[in-house]
């Protein structure tokens, strides 16, 4: 028996008209557990029409009314942590505690957005000219859409919708078709929190749904998180259609380890950040850059930890690493391991040979040493439990390596030298930097985003830049003149 997963339009589950569906699996068993509807262009147009109607009303809700809905949503989400995490684990495969972690980080974005009365405060300049005051306001855009990846089915939608809705927009979510059920759970929570119908909408689907959103005249802005080729496509198509777009792409996150670092601590961090969520995080560490003498002891310390990583069903309490999202993705990751070995890297630990559950899309942990920058394991985002070690002689070599990579999402440096860490922070061409912190996902009061091929657009996501993205500025110049002083003056207005 498989579950049918449909759209959420106008505050209710809605069947689509396309007749097309996609399979949803439990990656830990390999079984198909659901089928998700794939929206037709007509389905998307119906959803956007409902959202546009709701947006016209929702912008009139007072800031304190919006904040009250967000507070209620925050409470419901907090109370549902375990239940929602079970849904994430059953379709994504990540371990339950990791699913709780992603929801908790998403919850922070909701908490930030509850401060909307403060966040939307404008500026005011009294007497900007004689008898003239000037002030700025920020207004919602109308209907905004979010297109999200499979790897964070709760957190990434919350990055977007919390701020978008707080700012007075209606939000249309097109979640990943690989793990779509969490989106409907969120929709029901929004409704229970008192959000008017139509302000949060879900259209399930694939390219057809996305392409319809990209050119729909009533969609003002698009937020995207996913792989770089699609991010580039979304940015180019959406902006050509006159929309505001922020499109976050892929990553290859380097962890630089200097010889003075505590190497046991660095090894703990590398293992946690490389293999957590089976490496299916955009902020996973996928390359360790071992500087100078650190290399041999560091590789040994990482390899020593790998037999203890328990791989299995994420729903079981002792599991540390779950399966990959699909069989096809597991096979693609395995093919990179083969390519790395063929191209001359040293296979220190081979995840293909691990003792793994018979069913499901599992792969063990892999460690490759002596990786060189020309190898595909280095150039490509693998998005699996594969850690490459590149050995370099000096700090400058490490910096140049990081800065030469196509991606610039996250990076980290491990050292006891504050001066080296300060130089790294100053010179590295990456959007999010950790100093002795391997996964530097910014807290909700900052904004999330990479550089180079990891982000297309100007605004990073959530936090202050998220609020800027979901609103547009208006500046009012105001004068209440004494009619007795009124004259005709064809000159350009001057302030002095």
Q: Which of 225, 266, 399, 444 binds ligand NAD (CB under 6 A)?
A: 225
In this complex, which beta carbon is closest to ligand NAD, that of residue 395 or of residue 456? 456
Q: Which of 247, 248, 413, 421 binds ligand NAD (CB under 6 A)?
A: 248
Q: Provide, rounded to whole angstroms, the least separation between the CB of residue 143 and ligand NAD.
A: 18
In this complex, which beta carbon is closest to ligand NAD, that of residue 162 or of residue 295? 162
In this complex, which beta carbon is closest to ligand NAD, that of residue 11 or of residue 249? 249
| One-character DSSP codes across 262-313 | -HHHHHHHHHHHHHGGGG-STT-EEEEEEEGGGHHHHHHHHHHHGGGPPBS-
**Is 479 a residue that touches ligand NAD (CB under 6 A)?**
no
161 is catalytic: no
Whole-angstrom distance, CA of residue 37 vs CA of residue 42: 13
Q: Provide, rounded to whole angstroms, the least separation between the CB of residue 350 and ligand NAD.
A: 24
In this complex, which beta carbon is closest to ligand NAD, that of residue 170 or of residue 231? 231
Q: Provide, rounded to whole angstroms, the least separation between the CB of residue 432 and ligand NAD.
A: 9
Whole-angstrom distance, CA of residue 76 vs CA of residue 53: 26
Q: Which of 73, 383, 456, 469 binds ligand NAD (CB under 6 A)?
A: 383
**Is 48 a residue that touches ligand NAD (CB under 6 A)?**
no
**Is 171 a residue that touches ligand NAD (CB under 6 A)?**
no
Whole-angstrom distance, CA of residue 275 vs CA of residue 98: 12
User: Residue 259 corresponds to which tokens in the numbers above?
Assistant: 């010889």
**Is 287 a residue that touches ligand NAD (CB under 6 A)?**
no
**Is 177 a residue that touches ligand NAD (CB under 6 A)?**
yes
**Is 463 a residue that touches ligand NAD (CB under 6 A)?**
no
Q: Provide, rounded to whole angstroms, the least separation between the CB of residue 384 and ligand NAD.
A: 11
Give φ, ψ of 221 to 5 degrees.
-150, 150
Beta bridge partners of 347: 368
Q: Which distant-in-sequence residues (6+ apart) come within 8 Å of 118 by Cβ?
A: none
**Is 316 a residue that touches ligand NAD (CB under 6 A)?**
no
Q: What is the DSSP letter of 168?
A: T
Among 276, 357, 336, CA closest to 27: 357
User: Residue 217 corresponds to which tokens in the numbers above?
Assistant: 């005249």
**Is 295 a residue that touches ligand NAD (CB under 6 A)?**
no
**Is 381 a residue that touches ligand NAD (CB under 6 A)?**
yes
| Alpha-carbon radius of gyration of the chain | 25
**Is 149 a residue that touches ligand NAD (CB under 6 A)?**
yes
**Is 150 a residue that touches ligand NAD (CB under 6 A)?**
yes
Q: Which of 227, 326, 403, 436 binds ligand NAD (CB under 6 A)?
A: 227
Given 103, 282, 345, 390, the catalytic residue: 282
Whole-angstrom distance, CA of residue 354 vs CA of residue 137: 58
**Is 148 a residue that touches ligand NAD (CB under 6 A)?**
yes
Q: Count residues near ligand NAD (CB under 6 A).
A: 27
Query: Residue 190 in contact with residue 113, Cβ under 8 Å?
Result: no
In this complex, which beta carbon is closest to ligand NAD, that of residue 305 or of residue 329? 329
**Is 230 a residue that touches ligand NAD (CB under 6 A)?**
yes
Residue numbers 68-87 binding ligand NAD by CB under 6 A: none
Q: Which distant-in-sequence residues (6+ apart) come within 8 Å of 452 by Cβ?
A: 405, 406, 407, 408, 429
Whole-angstrom distance, CA of residue 152 vs CA of residue 178: 11
**Is 109 a residue that touches ligand NAD (CB under 6 A)?**
no
Query: Residue 133 in contact with residue 125, Cβ under 8 Å?
Result: yes
Instruction: Please tell me the chain's helix, strand, coil percentages from 3-state DSSP, rounded to the nearest 5.
Output: 40, 25, 35
User: Element (H or E) spanning 79, and its range?
Assistant: helix 63-79
Q: Rule CB under 6 A: which residues touch ligand NAD?
A: 147-152, 156, 174, 176-177, 206-207, 210, 225-227, 230, 248-251, 282, 381, 383, 409, 450, 454
Q: What amino acid positions are annotated as catalytic residues?
A: 282
């Amino acid at each position: 028996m498989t579950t049918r997963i449909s759209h959420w339009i106008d505050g209710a589950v809605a069947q689509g008209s396309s007749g097309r569906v996609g399979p949803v699996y439990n990656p830990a068993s390999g079984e198909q557990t659901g089928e998700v509807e794939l929206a037709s262009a007509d389905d998307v147009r119906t959803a956007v029409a409902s959202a546009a109607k709701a947006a016209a009303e929702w912008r009139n809700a007072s800031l304190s009314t919006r904040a009250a809905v967000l507070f209620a949503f925050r409470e419901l989400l907090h109370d549902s942590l375990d239940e929602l995490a079970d849904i994430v684990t059953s379709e994504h495969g990540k371990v339950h505690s990791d699913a709780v972690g992603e929801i908790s980080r998403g919850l922070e974005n909701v908490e930030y957005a509850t401060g909307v009365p403060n966040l939307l405060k404008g500026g005011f300049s009294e007497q900007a000219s004689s008898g003239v005051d000037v002030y700025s306001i920020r207004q919602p855009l109308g209907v905004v859409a979010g297109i999200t990846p499979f790897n964070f089915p709760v957190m990434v939608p919350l990055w977007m919708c919390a701020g978008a809705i707080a700012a007075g927009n209606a939000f249309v979510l097109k979640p990943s078709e690989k793990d779509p059920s969490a989106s409907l759970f969120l929709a029901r929570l929004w409704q229970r929190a008192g959000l008017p119908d139509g302000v949060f909408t879900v259209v399930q689907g694939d390219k057809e749904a996305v392409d319809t959103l990209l050119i729909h005249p009533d969609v003002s802005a698009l937020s995207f998180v996913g792989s770089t080729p699609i991010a580039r496509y979304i940015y180019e198509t959406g902006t050509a259609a006159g929309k505001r777009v922020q499109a976050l792409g892929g990553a290859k996150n380097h962890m630089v380890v200097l010889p003075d670092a505590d190497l046991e601590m660095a090894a703990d961090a590398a293992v946690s950040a490389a293999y957590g969520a089976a490496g299916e995080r955009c902020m996973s560490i996928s390359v360790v850059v071992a500087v100078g003498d650190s290399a041999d002891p560091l590789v040994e310390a990482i390899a020593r930890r790998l037999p203890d990583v328990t791989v299995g069903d994420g729903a079981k309490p002792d599991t540390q690493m779950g399966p990959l999202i699909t069989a096809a993705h597991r096979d693609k990751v395995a093919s990179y391991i083969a390519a790395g070995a063929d191209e001359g890297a040293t296979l220190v630990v081979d995840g293909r040979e691990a003792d793994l559950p018979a069913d499901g899309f599992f792969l063990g942990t892999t460690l490759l040493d002596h990786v060189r920058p020309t190898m595909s394991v280095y150039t490509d985002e693998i998005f699996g439990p594969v850690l490459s070690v590149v050995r370099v002689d000096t700090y400058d070599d490490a910096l140049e390596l990081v800065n030469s990579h196509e991606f610039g999402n996250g990076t980290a440096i491990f050292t006891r030298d504050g001066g080296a860490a300060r130089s790294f922070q100053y010179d590295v061409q990456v959007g999010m930097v950790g100093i002795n912190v391997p996964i530097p996902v910014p807290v909700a009061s900052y904004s999330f985003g990479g550089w180079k091929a990891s982000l297309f657009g100007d605004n990073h996501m959530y936090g202050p830049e998220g609020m800027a993205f979901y609103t547009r500025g208006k500046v009012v110049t105001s004068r209440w003149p004494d009619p007795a002083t009124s004259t005709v003056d064809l000159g350009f207005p001057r302030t002095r």
